[in-house]
Amino acid sequence: MDDHFLIIGLGNPGPEYADTRHNIGFMCLDCLQKKIVSPSSFKYTNEYQAEIAEGKLAGVSVRLVKPQTFMNLSGKTARALLADFPLTEPAKVIIVHDDLDLPLGRIKLKSGGGSGGHNGIKSLIEELGWADFMRLRLGISGASRSPDTIDYVLSPFQDGEEKIVSEVIEKSVAGLILVLTSGVTAAMNQINRRVVEPS
């Protein structure tokens, strides 16, 4: 594949984690995969310890990646992929992940920064040795937030939150496509002011 975008959704493998808050990155990529022209389904590749789908989105080559290493080892997949398929610029690596510091319904696109306490982002920074990748942060903090962070991020969304999650994923997919077609600045201008309000 020619120079492309690498879009990595963060989450944990296994059916027991499928609908949890920590896996909203996976949910977003599942939706994005359906937009690929001549789509390939997600297929597990042992070499990268990831499920990967590839093709074109809005005429741009993309690899969609769901690491199967568990969240705190996500960087191993990214490092292996970039060793075999190097990119011309860090901004062509986009990480889609949950963010406990943002309320459910809030979406934010940013470049670089620290881990913010997110183990998946921490792993990426440690394994890659740089932090200039793009992050699409999807808020997961709802009214039911528990003081126990681990229990909360590994809990499923509540019935009343499902509509908001669906809208967040739809807007996130549209935002990612905008990054590919119009660039990061244009996408930020759209994404960072989009808030899905609870009904």
Q: Degrees (nearest 5) of the Cα angle 102, 107, 109?
A: 110
d(CA 188, CA 56): 22
Question: Can you tell me the distance from the alpha carbon of 113 to that of 115, in angstroms, rounded to the nearest whole number?
Answer: 7
CA distance 176 to 36: 12
Q: Helices 184-191 and 162-182: crossing angle, nearest 10°?
A: 160
Q: Which residue has the tokens 């998946």?
A: 120
Q: Which residue out of 4, 22, 97, 118 is catalytically annotated?
A: 22
Strands 50-57, 60-67: pairing is antiparallel
Say which DSSP state 7 is in: E
Which helix (H) or strand (E) segment is 182 a member of?
Answer: helix 162-182
Cα separation, 98 vs 25, in Å, equals 6
CA distance 32 to 85: 21
Query: Catalytic residue at 22?
Result: yes
Catalytic (active-site) positions: 22
